[in-house]
Amino acid sequence: MTHLHLDYESFSLADITEVGGYRYTRAPTTEIITAAMAFNNEEPVIWHPYMTDAELAVLDPYFDALEDPSILVYAHHAQFEYAMSQALMWKTWGIKPPAIERFRCTMSLARRAALPAKLEKLSEFLGTVVKDATGKRLIRKFSMLQKPDKPTKKNPVIPPERQVPYRIYPKDDWEDFQRFMDYCKQDVRAEQEVARRLAYFDEPINNVNYTLHEIINARGVTVNVKALQHAQKLIDEETEIVSRKFRELTGLDFTQTGAVLTWARENGYPYDDLQAATVEKFLEETPECATCHNAGQTGTDADIEIEGILSCPSCGGTSAAAMPALRLRASVSYAAIKKVRTMLDCVGPEDNRIRGMLNHHGATTGRSTNSLVQFQNMKRPTIDNSESAYRDICNGISLEMLRFCYGDPLEVISSCVRHFVEDTPMTESITLKVWENGGNYKAISEFCGPQPPCHICGGSGEYEGDYGPVSCQPCNSRLFDFIDFRGKRVFADDGDIIEKRENGLHLISREGANL
């Protein structure tokens, strides 16, 4: 049976380690800069953006295979290749991207076999094609923005365009870019060998399970972006207040871990590290008054918040200075607080969904693992009225009022973190019915869930449009861009692009192109 191996190399200003694969592929600066393809165990071929028409003609069989629903597409960590294909395949090659059911993942096969997931480590273990060690250098060179150059003895004068962050294009160093293309082809060779050696694990039940995972990943999870944005604003304001108090006590910043540990040990902290469990143990211990050594409780959280110290009820003395300082430091270290920023980094960009969080067969037992937001360990509320606090955050409550009504703002927000995930109808997605009437194409949108009023005039009439943007009939305001593919029903999101061809309307969609 014929199958196709595929590997992309790309450029983007987005950091894939911070935002995840789906958000990365949808960033406006992301582009495919080279790709390698191969049938079965044949030698890979390469694509790059400077190919002539004659050179591109050689790739026609591979492009045809990508559009052939009977041909499977193999990749290592195929979730990325699928997301890239959905986002950029039409824009780059004018090809309808393969359906998610056609993808097979050699990383999934490796995990199924309890082998290393990373292609480099996996190839070493199998004793097959060894990845080029220069690949990381080439990725940093061509796939990322470069830091500004600094004057040296050899190059004392830096051109203005290199005094700011800049990009190295393939033509800027064609010799090195050829090495990068060879690296891309080498990845495909490694994938081919993995697929061949692990064919035993390429079984229907594993493939069905993998496809289900990727359907879930592609659909994503809905979050309340506006509430997250306001929560992050509150976090930033409170963090600045706490940071200022911490600096007043220690003369240091939270991030100076080594210096903070030295200072803490000089001020009553008895341990050798600042790991969360160790600090929590210290904070739970009854503090001893530094003046009279009274072993009784020497204050409350309110004392810390107001005075920055703990006062002894016996003599008025203070506890070890490390106690209030480490309480402040711990208050801004909630893992749940960091999830707010992570959710904002990974969502969208054109909708309110976070995608690509499940790792198929991530554990050796076969269960899934999570990446990015880590929804499996969302903090349970530690306040009684987290629903009320969440509603107030949604309504734009101020930091002072949040503190007055509910207590420590950072603890309140961390207690609300589960509420930011909302099981709401996909009102931003529409189903389009397209038909031909006297040579003209018309579309009527049917919303999934309650049909919202027009955001301009408030009208609730039928939304209608030609092959351009869907618009509201009363005020003709633009609501959605859409594309259909040969008259079939599709889902389209705000931001999709439409292309009118001789044989009908064609959908270029990150989610709805798989018909």
**Per-domain residue ranges of the chain:** 3-219, 255-331, 429-508
Burial class for 515, CB neighbours closer than 10 Å (0-12, 13-18, 19+): middle
Rounded to whole angstroms, the Cα distance separating 154 from 271 reads 49
Each as own residue / partner, the long-range contacts of residues 383-390 (CB below 8 Å, 24 or more positions apart, any chain) are 383/407, 383/411, 383/412, 383/415, 386/412, 386/415, 386/416, 386/418, 386/419, 387/419, 389/415, 389/416, 390/227, 390/416, 390/419, 390/420
Q: Token pair of 505, please?
A: 């309307």
Q: 409 with 389: CB under 8 angstroms?
A: no
Q: What is the DSSP letter of 376?
A: G
Rounded distance between C-alpha atoms, residue 513 and residue 471, angstroms: 21
Residue 382 per-residue DSSP state? S
**322 — phi, psi (to 5°)?**
-65, -30
Three-state DSSP state, 421: strand
Per-position pLDDT tens, the chain of length 515: 899 999 999 999 999 999 999 999 999 999 999 999 999 999 999 999 999 999 999 999 999 999 999 999 999 999 999 999 999 999 999 999 999 999 999 999 999 999 999 999 999 999 886 666 788 999 999 999 999 998 888 888 888 888 899 999 999 999 999 999 999 999 999 999 999 999 999 988 889 999 999 999 999 999 999 999 999 999 999 999 988 988 888 888 888 889 988 988 888 888 888 888 888 888 777 555 555 555 444 444 433 343 444 555 555 544 566 878 888 888 787 777 899 999 999 998 878 899 999 999 988 888 899 899 988 888 889 998 999 999 999 999 999 999 999 999 999 999 999 999 986 544 333 333 333 333 223 333 333 233 344 444 555 444 343 333 344 444 444 333 333 333 333 334 444 444 444 444 444 443 433 32
- Encoding tokens for residue 50? 């400077």
**Dihedral-angle region of residue 173 (phi above 0 means left; psi in -120 to 50 means alpha; beta otherwise):** beta
* Residue the block writes with tokens 């003046």: 291
Strands (E), 15-99: 31-39, 45-47, 72-75
Q: What is the pLDDT of residue 458?
A: 52
The total of other beta-carbon atoms located within 10 Å of residue 249's CB is 19
56: its two tokens: 């591109």
Quick one: tokens of 220?
């994503």
Task: Give the H or E element holding residue 192.
Answer: helix 174-197
Q: Residue 507, class by beta-carbon neighbours within 10 Å (0-12 exposed, 13-18 middle, 19+ buried)?
A: buried
Measuring CA to CA, which residue among 171, 25, 7 is closest to residue 511? 25
Terminal Cα distance for the chain, rounded: 23
Assigned CATH for 3-219: 3.30.420.10
DSSP 3-state of 28: coil
Give CA–CA dist 514/89, Å, rounded: 13
